[in-house]
Amino acid sequence: MAAAKNSDGTVGKALSVLDKVALFGRPVRFSEILADSEFPKATLYRLLQTLTNQGMLGYDPDRQLYSLGVRLVGLAHAAWNQASLAPIARPLLDELSLKVDETVHLGQLDHGQVLYVDKRNPKLPLNMFSDAGKIGPGYCTGVGKAMLAYLDKPLRDKLVSQQSFHRYTEHTITNSDDFQAELATIREQRVAYDREEHEPNIICIAAPILSSKQRVLGGLSITTSTGRYTLEELEKFKPELLATAHKISQLAQSWHFPETNS
């Protein structure tokens, strides 16, 4: 049969519904979900009920609105603690962001996209779920490129082919060939640059965090704006960046850490 259908059984379907609701980004009506769902009414209905029962979705009977459930927040707390580099890397992020006096991001790969698991901004010391948990594109962010560059070829090719290459700015790389070339350059330089590829005026330098077996654990970046530094000047952060990435990697090793596999 070969080809990979993307749903494993009922659980897969249920989770895809979860995603749908998440995607709306606000509480939604049954019919709204039904509208862009492949499931028939009754099926969708039961899936929603199950998820609601399970606390993965919340339901407001007065307004008839489904929203993501609070249970997710609790699970994520656990996930963040045990499956992300964030709790280990935390002191190192503090240190780095203070030293360079710029924003630092810590990301991991999730299905070819970047999931930011932590962030430090030395000026605005406010961070929360609103920062961590954010997902960004893999092909036009510093951490994304740094991580993708260091995957082994088969996985890298697979994920590259899945990128959607939306042109965010005039500098965004918009096809796989250029992107593969960029990744090769990154491997040579050992760091990735974001040259206003995702947002105008935002530039960054990023490095992968690799396990001792050279598997990609995550990515680390120093982000700034063109108003503060030129792209060339970013290079001066390279030693600090690599040093911190390496330290995180060592800490991760010693306190057994799971490797991201997608």
Partner DNA sequence: ATTGTTGTTCCACATATTGAAACTAGGTTT
Partner DNA sequence: AAACCTAGTTTCAATATGTGGAACAACAAT
Is the CB of 38 or the CB of 170 nearer to DNA?
A: 38
Figure out which of the listed residues 117, 140, 191, 234 binds its own copies, where binding follows CB under 8 A: 117
Of 3-11, 155-163, 190-198, 216-224, the segment contacting DNA by CB under 7 A is 3-11
Provide the token pair at 46. 């039961």
Of 138-146, 170-178, 231-239, 250-258, the segment contacting its own copies by CB under 8 A is 250-258
* Cβ atoms < 10 Å from Cβ of 248: 25
What is the full DSSP assignment across 115-181?
EEEEEE-SS----STTTTT-EE-STTSHHHHHHHHTS-HHHHHHHHHH------STT---SHHHHHH
Q: Scanning residues 51 to 70, which ones bind DNA (CB under 7 A)?
A: 64
Q: Does residue 26 bind its own copies (CB under 8 A)?
A: yes
- Residue 40 binding partner per list its own copies, DNA, none, with a CB distance cut-off of 5 to 8 Å that depends on partner kind: DNA
Is the CB of 40 or the CB of 125 nearer to its own copies?
A: 125
Residues in the chain: 262
User: Per-residue string for binding with its own copies, 202-241, x by CB under 8 A?
Assistant: -----------x----------------------------
Is the CB of 200 or the CB of 258 nearer to its own copies?
A: 258
Provide the token pair at 204. 């960054």
HEC string of 164-221 equals CCCCCCCCCCCCHHHHHHHHHHHHHHCCEEEECCCCCCEEEEEEEEECCCCCEEEEEE
Figure out which of the listed residues 2, 6, 19, 40 binds DNA, where binding follows CB under 7 A: 40
